[in-house]
Amino acid sequence: MAELAGEAGITVRTLRFYRERKLIPPPRRDGRIAWYNDHHLARLRTIAALLERGHTLGGIAELFAAFECGRDVGELLGLAGAGITVPWSEETAIRLSPEDLADRFAGEVTPENLTAALDIGYLALDGDEIVHVSRRLLEASTALVRSGVPLAAVLAAGRQVRTHANAMAETFTDLIRDHVPEEAREALRPFAKAVVEAEFTMAMDRRARTQETPDRNSGGSPSQTQPADGAGREGAGRGGPWQGA
């Protein structure tokens, strides 16, 4: 115990206190000898890092409890049973320490947000590390939070997006399963992705055109600033700001 405390830069008394608060897992027992390992040292260093960032011991205990209730990361698209066995996702999972997560989302790493991220499937646990399902989703979430969007709102939006993504996946898999021979399905992947991207970017353009802004409201009538859905949608060579082509 003294050796572990020395490695972690704390006193034996503090180590005992952490153990009593169940902030570290119990050691392996061999008779009267208690064996600690690198897992315990990593947990102690995580506690120290979180304390430095202003977390309380009670809050840290809640964070650990939330992590330990995590589920395995599921597939974003439910393709089972459609005859499409090769994964469609090209996402790269990212491994993070609790300190990394606290740095990315300063002041937003609460038990409620962690529970939501685990429930959606964005986060999972692997030993002392946290695994995020997607580098791109993680970077997008980080950018939104740093732009002023609360993490709770980002996660709520993520849950909605997941629901719509699952519905789109169901539409495509039903279509492909019902009408396309299995040997020809692989070639349709790029077209399925292209349809989703095209529809989303056009929907964003429609939404942008029908959203009033203070600048637009300062001059012109609603009929001038809010064209009806579909008006000018496919104007000659005039794509909206969200269209990629």
Q: Is 150 helix (H, G, I), strand (E, B) or coil?
A: coil
Residue among 55, 48, 54 at smallest CA distance from 14: 48
Are 78 and 30 within one domain? no
Are 208 and 95 within one domain? yes
31 inside domain: yes
- What pLDDT is stored for residue 238 in this prediction? 46
Q: What is the CATH number of the domain that holds 33?
A: 1.10.1660.10
Three-state SS for 30-67 is: ECCEEECCHHHHHHHHHHHHHHHCCCCHHHHHHHHHHH
- What pLDDT is stored for residue 157 in this prediction? 96
The stretches in the chain having pLDDT less than 70 are 66-89, 127-128, 212-245
- What pLDDT is stored for residue 182 in this prediction? 85
- What pLDDT is stored for residue 24 in this prediction? 81
227 inside domain: no
Rounded Cα distance, 150 and 110, in Å:
12
- What pLDDT is stored for residue 222 in this prediction? 47
Are 87 and 203 within one domain? yes
| Domain count along the chain | 2
Instruction: Please give the helix or strand (H or E) that residue 131 lies within, else none.
Output: strand 129-132
List the domain range (segments joined by +) for residue 92.
Answer: 72-213
